[in-house]
A and B are shown apart, each in its own frame.
Chain A
């Protein structure tokens, strides 16, 4: 296959747009959460200031090589996820580095950041970080399960492992979306989506008062800033996959912004309504409600 060098600056442009959109959207969603609690909420540019502040800290200490690599892995997980799926369908500029079979790679990248974080935070040696990681890994693993089932169901349905082809198959009207052609898979995946967004009711991993913010408890200064950058990229990248697989993709940036916003809103909406689950409750919840849906969707396909 001929590699097209022009794709690199284009991908960087995508990355740039997504980072900024992620920062603004994150703040917007936080503001909505605050409004639901009748607060005014943070200013919309707060995330930028926080990040600049963290990069400007004068001192930072380390706990070893893995401690450095943790945020790097996490960031590369987010960036990798974004770059290997087509952001805008049918656009040469924003199709990024996608190729046939990228679905499996994307599935891997979803988990990659979590693993890197686990290694890095483990090296920090803080007991609260260790507790957070055990919770995080067990919860994310069970949440991944229905998502993986849904993805296989979709791959079976369209007989392809290429995200681009899946999007292509959904073009031509809303009724062609997976949402309507395979509703069970979408339902399972959307339940799984809640579990990986680290919002209530599934945010016991980063419980701020109980285990001071869990895995990143030892991270500070530029490490933390890096993780904040990832917090902007990763949810968007994940939502892009969801959008491509289940909601017909997007063929222009406005459609993209709108769909991503709506999918993000789903987790925020559930988040302000429901209180927090404990880990064993959330695992049970995923196994009882989400996994059977996923299996059923595969069986029906």
Chain B
């Protein structure tokens, strides 16, 4: 465990000494809960429509597929006209695009980023690497099935998929959300133990709280 996460004794400005346990004192320990949608169906449908028309992507490039996301912001493909925008911070993003292979080191960061996003949130796996490991199927260092670690809503297959494929993927994602099937966050909360067990199996230096609020 890292030095700054160990239990230590701190002296306050008033001279009183007290013990600080960073993992428990600085972070919230509560596990995620299932959050139901709005009670009235028509309201939830309207919300789902809004969510589908305003997809904010967390721009976090993990593998080689990340390079295919950039052209979407340029004049040639311009995803903005479909209501797809990029947000720099996980707090404001709804859609997490895992762009290609995830090394176990990056997986840790990806989990933290995913957990900081606000529900409802969606995950798209981009490229074959996220489906079955792709050309890294026998690598010692990458995960093979993204779905074991984060609840994936949609895969875009290919190595690497063209930006058009990504656009088509976003359109399919919109349909999923509008149909009320983008419930990945609740799936994650329901099967929290299972996901955590899988994650901890590959991440050996686990030095963060179990859920990063």
Contact assessment for A60 and B54 in the assembled complex, using a CB-CB cutoff below 8 Å: no
Question: Given that A39-B80, A43-B81, A61-B213 are known contacts, is A224 also in contact with B92, CB under 8 Å in the complex?
Answer: yes
CA distance A50 to B88 in the complex (A): 16
Residues of B within 8 A of A97 (CB): none
Q: Is B120 an interface residue (CB 8 A)?
A: yes
Within 8 A of A (CB), among B49-86: 50-51, 53-54, 56, 74-75, 78, 80-81, 83, 85
| Nearest CB of chain A from residue B66's CB, rounded to whole Å | 14
Query: How many residue pairs between the two chains, A and B, have CB atoms under 8 Å in the bound complex?
Result: 81
| Nearest CB of chain A from residue B132's CB, rounded to whole Å | 32
| Nearest CB of chain A from residue B92's CB, rounded to whole Å | 5
Contact assessment for B118 and A40 in the assembled complex, using a CB-CB cutoff below 8 Å: no
CA distance A34 to B79 in the complex (A): 12
Q: Which of B35, B50, B78 contacts A53 (CB 8 A)?
A: B50
Contact assessment for B120 and A42 in the assembled complex, using a CB-CB cutoff below 8 Å: no
CA distance A53 to B46 in the complex (A): 9
Size of the chain A interface, CB-CB below 8 angstroms: 30
Question: Given that A219-B92, A220-B91 are known contacts, is A42 also in contact with B83, CB under 8 Å in the complex?
Answer: yes
| Nearest CB of chain B from residue A102's CB, rounded to whole Å | 36
Residues of B within 8 A of A209 (CB): 88
Question: Given that A208-B88, A213-B88 are known contacts, is A49 also in contact with B35, CB under 8 Å in the complex?
Answer: no
Q: Which of A37, A59, A224 contacts B35 (CB 8 A)?
A: A59
Interface core residue of A49, A58, A208 (most chain B CB under 10 Å) = A58
Q: Is B47 an interface residue (CB 8 A)?
A: yes
Q: Is A244 an interface residue (CB 8 A)?
A: no
Q: Is A281 an interface residue (CB 8 A)?
A: no
Contact assessment for B78 and A39 in the assembled complex, using a CB-CB cutoff below 8 Å: yes
Q: Give A210's nearest chain B residue, CB to CB.
A: B88
Q: Is A101 an interface residue (CB 8 A)?
A: no
Contact assessment for B80 and A34 in the assembled complex, using a CB-CB cutoff below 8 Å: yes
Residues of B within 8 A of A38 (CB): 75
Contact assessment for B78 and A40 in the assembled complex, using a CB-CB cutoff below 8 Å: yes
CA distance A282 to B118 in the complex (A): 35
Q: Is B119 an interface residue (CB 8 A)?
A: yes
Q: Is A46 an interface residue (CB 8 A)?
A: yes
Residues of A within 8 A of B53 (CB): 46, 49, 53
| Nearest CB of chain A from residue B43's CB, rounded to whole Å | 9
CA distance A88 to B85 in the complex (A): 36
Contact assessment for B81 and A57 in the assembled complex, using a CB-CB cutoff below 8 Å: no
Q: Which of A41, A49, A61 contacts B80 (CB 8 A)?
A: A41
Interface core residue of B46, B91, B119 (most chain A CB under 10 Å) = B91
Q: Is B141 an interface residue (CB 8 A)?
A: no
Residues of A within 8 A of B91 (CB): 217-220
Q: Is B89 an interface residue (CB 8 A)?
A: yes
| Nearest CB of chain A from residue B190's CB, rounded to whole Å | 15
Contact assessment for B88 and A56 in the assembled complex, using a CB-CB cutoff below 8 Å: no
Within 8 A of B (CB), among A44-58: 46, 49-50, 52-53, 56-58
Question: Given that A43-B83, A213-B88 are known contacts, is A49 also in contact with B213, CB under 8 Å in the complex?
Answer: no
Q: Is A221 an interface residue (CB 8 A)?
A: yes
Contact assessment for A221 and B118 in the assembled complex, using a CB-CB cutoff below 8 Å: yes
Residues of A within 8 A of B87 (CB): 213
Q: Give A45's nearest chain B residue, CB to CB.
A: B53
User: Given A43-B81, A217-B89, A220-B91, list of 5 further CB < 8 A pairs?
Assistant: A34-B80, A41-B80, A49-B83, A53-B94, A59-B118
